[in-house]
Amino acid sequence: MGILKSTKRIVITTEAKNSLGFRTRTAGINLAAYEKNPLLLWFHKRPTGDQKNENLPLGFLSDLELKGD
């Protein structure tokens, strides 16, 4: 079985409050370190290979773009 590839445009974050009432301020964000390894993770968890049911990365970002807020 080969690697499944698809392309989707997604929004990672906005400055709107999330369901817990928190927000991420994006003004002045520095993405230099993230751009070196642009994985989109589920709940910030990186797979370690220790568990069969662990969360895998959702994807790899190839066209990171900042827009407005």
Q: Are the beta carbons of 54 and 48 closer than 8 angstroms?
A: yes
Distance CA 31, CA 66 (A): 10
pLDDT at 69: 60
For residue 27, the 8-state DSSP code is: T
pLDDT digits (tens, 9 = 90+) for 1-50: 566 677 878 887 888 998 899 988 888 888 899 888 888 777 666 667 77
Position 19, amino acid = S
In the predicted model, what is the mean pLDDT of residues 49-64?
74
> In 1-69, where does DSSP find H-type helix?
32-36
Distance CA 25, CA 30 (A): 12
